[in-house]
Amino acid sequence: MTIENSRISAGQFMFSIACFLHSSSLLTSFFVIITRNESWMPFVASIIICIPLIVSYVLLSKSYPGMNLIQINEAVFGRVAGKIVSALYVWFFFTLTSLNIRDLGTFVNKTTMVKTPISIIIILFLLLCVWSSYYGLEVVTRYSIVFLIISCVILFISIIAVYDLIELDNFLPMFDMPLNNYVQVSHIASTIPFGETVIFLMVTPYVDNAPKNLMRYFLGGFLLGSILILIVILRDISVLGNTIQYFSLPSFEVFRLGTLFQTISHMEIMFSILLIVLLYFKISVLFYVTMLAIAQLLNIRSYRPILLPCAALVVVYAFTAFKDVITHTKTAQETTPFFWTLFEILLPVLTLIVSFVKKKAKNKNNRKAVSK
C-alpha cells in the first residue's frame, strides 16, 4: 500500500532540498546574536560537520529502498518500538511546521503588515499549503526551482544594491570570542537549518531512480542550499558589521539600506517577497511530510481526509508553542538544538547502526544456514 503515488525527478528533489534550506536564511538572527560578525565561521564548520550526517541519511534510505522514514523505523525497531519512534517523529514534524508558520506570521507582522491580525495571515497561508498538499508531493515540490531562481535573483540584486556599503573590515577581528560561542552556533546551525533535511527521508522513496542517484542529489541540494545561506550571512555581516547583533531580522535591515542609482531604495518589499515565497515552500513541504507521516503511522489509505483537521491543529499549536518572540529566540538558542539533535542526529544514526548490525547478523545466519 502506498499513500503517495506521484513521483518526482531527482533534479526536483535536489532543488527542493536547496530551496528548503535557503528559506532558513531568514532565521539567521538566532545565531548572529551570539557570534556577531564571526558567525560565518561556525556556519562553515557546521556545513562540514553536516556532510557525514547527510551521507548517513542517504545510507539509511539506501539500505531500505522504497521505504520512507516511518516504514524504516518499523522495519528496524520492530512493530511496537518502531511505532513509538515514529510517533516521536510525527511530533517533531508537527512542531517544525507550527514553529515555521508562527515565524512566518511574526515576520510578516513585523515587516509589512503591522496591523493585520497574525491569525489571518497564518490561516490563509496554511490553507494554501493544505491546497498544495492535497495534490501530493509532485505539486508541492514542483515550483522549487522557480522559487530558488527568484530568490537567487533577489539575492543578486540585493548584493548589487548594497555593494557601496560592503566593508571587508567588518569581518575582523577573527577568533575574538570564547570557544563556547562557536560551538553553540555550530550546534544551532547544524540542527536548525541543516538537520531539518531529515524530513526528506520521508520522500526519498518517491524519487525517480532513487537508490542510485540519491547520494549525489541529496548532497548536491544540501551544498547548494547551505552555500546560498552562507552568501546571505556574508552579505549581512559585510554590510552591518558589528551592528548585526542588534537586529532581529538582519537581512531585512540590509534590504532597507539597499539603493540602486539613488532612485530605487526602500527595497524591503523584495525581502517580503522572498520571505513569503520561501516560507511558503518550506511550510508546504513540512506540512505535506507531516501528513504523510501521520497517515503512514496510523495506516490510513490516504492522508487527504486529515488535511484540514491537522491544519487546524497546526494553527492552534503555532499560537501556543511559545508566548513571545523573546522566548522563541531564547529557546531556539538554548533548548531546541538539543531536542532536535535527538531527531536529526541520534535517532537516524542509531537506526543506521541497528540496521547494519541486524544485516550482519542475518548474513551470518544465512551463511550458517548455507554451510549447514
Partner 1 sequence: MKKALRIIAAAMLILSSALISGCYDIVELDTISIVTGLGIDKADENGKVQLTVQVGKADAVGGGGQEGGEASEKAYQNLDSVDRNIVGALDKLLQDNSRTLFLHHNQVVIFGESHAKEGISDDIDALMRDLHSHLNVFVLISETNTSEIFNVEMELEKIPSVGITRMMRNKTEISEAFRVKMLELISKLSDDPCTAVLPIIKQVKEQDTTRLSIQGLAVIKDGKMVGKLTEDQAKGYAWALGKIKSGYLPVNTDKGTVELSIKPPSREMKVSFDKEGIPKIKIGIKARFIIGQIIGFDGLQLEEIIEMIQKESVNAVKDIIISCFKETQRLNADIFRFGCYLNKHHNKKWKKIKDKWDQIYPNLELELTVETQIIDTGKTSKSPKMVGGRLA
Determine if 215 is a binding residue for partner 1 (CB under 8 A).
no
Confirm or reject binding of residue 44 to partner 1 (CB under 8 A): no
Assess 236 for contact with partner 1 (CB under 8 A): no
Q: How far apart are the first and last CA of the chain?
A: 37
Beta carbons within 8 Å of 177's beta carbon, 6+ residues apart: 35, 36, 38
Q: Which of 46, 126, 45, 13 is nearest to 344 (CA)?
A: 46
Q: Site for partner 1 (CB under 8 A): which residue of 82, 136, 221, 241?
A: 241
Q: Which stretch binds partner 1 (CB under 8 A): 10-18, 240-248, 273-281, 298-306?
A: 240-248
List binders of partner 1 among 148-177 (CB under 8 A): 165, 169, 172-176
Residue whose entry in the numeric block shows the C-alpha cell 529566540: 329
- Distance between CA atoms of 287 and 71, rounded to whole angstroms? 19
Element (H, E) at 101: helix 79-111
User: Rounded to the nearest whole angstrom, what is the least distance from the CB of residue 257 to partner 1 in the complex?
Assistant: 5
Residue 299 C-alpha from the chain's centroid:
26
Q: Is 320 in the site for partner 1 (CB under 8 A)?
A: no
273 binds partner 1 (CB under 8 A): no
Residue 207 β-bridge partners: 8
Query: Which residue's CB is nearer to partner 1, number 56 or number 109?
Result: 109
Q: Does 257 bind partner 1 (CB under 8 A)?
A: yes
Reported residue count of the chain is: 372
Ranges within 89-128 binding partner 1 (CB under 8 A):
110, 112-117, 120
Q: What is the grid cell recorded at 313? A: 491543529
Cβ-based nearer residue to partner 1, 37 or 204: 37
Scanning the structure block, which residue is given the C-alpha cell 558589521?
241
Q: Which residues bind partner 1 (CB under 8 A)?
A: 110, 112-117, 120, 165, 169, 172-176, 240-243, 246, 253, 256-257, 259, 265-266
